[in-house]
Amino acid sequence: MLKLYSYFRSSASYRVRIALSLKGLDYQTVPVHLVRNEQRAPDYLQINPAGLVPALAEDVQVFTQSLAIIEYLNEIHPQPPLLPDRPADRARVRAIALTVACEIHPLNNLSVLSYLSATLGVDEAAKDAWYRHWVEKGLTTVERLLAGHPRTGTFCHGDSPTLADCCLAPQVFNALRFACRLDHVPIVMGIYERCMDLEAFRRAAPGAQPDARENGHG
């Protein structure tokens, strides 16, 4: 069975959980508690030397980086497809996904927020302002990528979820959690709501995870 090393609030882990759920793949969750720094434990660094989640173990192989994991899953389990057939369409889906994964998320992940507080002495209000600024700015870019594009449909690209939706939904979930302004991205929010209408997305949500329940958040 697949093993997913995951933290319930990790948006990168959330992306992979969505993909696994959409594909209907069974997997075992191995919780890695980021706030307790379990990702820095020697045993876990043997699994993922970067000390990050997610990591996906299959037999003796371990895959890291959420987008690489999702593309791997899509190649070995092609149905339902998470990338379109046409090269130009695949490039568009990847561009939306990478806008979230490379432009928004790295500025707001736990290690950055911890550095702002512990090393630079930024107070909680300023740290939250930092978070909201970059999320709101990044989602504005996503909104522009979606607005008026002929390939935008019920979801980011067409009428079924793709890699782009696997990335967008967790980012919007976190934006809501941190009370970001979202009235300026109505297309993004409409897609998020349609994603969350799907059982696959609900099963992958943070509150549905075993480590969420263990920590009183389920």
Tens digit of each residue's pLDDT (9 = 90 or more) over 113-137: 999 999 999 999 999 999 999 999 9
**What mean pLDDT is predicted for residues 44-71?**
97
- Indicate whether this model's pTM tops 0.85: yes
Task: Give the whole-angstrom CA distance, residue 86 versus residue 88.
Answer: 6
Across the chain, mean pLDDT equals 96
**What mean pLDDT is predicted for residues 17-27?**
98
**In this structure, what are the phi and psi dihedrals at residue 31, rounded to the nearest 5 degrees?**
-65, 140
pLDDT of amino acid 217: 65
Contact criterion met (CB below 8 Å) for 173 and 11: yes
Task: Give the whole-angstrom CA distance, residue 42 versus residue 170.
Answer: 28
pLDDT of amino acid 174: 97
- Name the DSSP letter for residue 215: T
pLDDT of amino acid 9: 96
- Name the DSSP letter for residue 3: E
In order of start, what are the domains of the chain with their CATH numbers?
A: 2-80 (3.40.30.10), 87-201 (1.20.1050.10)
| pLDDT above 90 coverage of the chain, percent | 97
pLDDT of amino acid 214: 76
pLDDT tens profile 30-55? 999 999 999 999 999 999 999 999 99
Instruction: Kindly give the residue spans of alpha helices, DSSP state H, lying in 3-123.
Output: 11-23, 42-47, 66-76, 87-98, 110-118
Contact criterion met (CB below 8 Å) for 53 and 32: yes
Contact criterion met (CB below 8 Å) for 171 and 139: yes
Q: Is the pLDDT of residue 218 over 90?
A: no
Q: Is the pLDDT of residue 147 over 80?
A: yes
Residue 174: helix, strand or coil by DSSP?
Answer: helix
Q: Is the pLDDT of residue 78 over 70?
A: yes
pLDDT of amino acid 213: 74
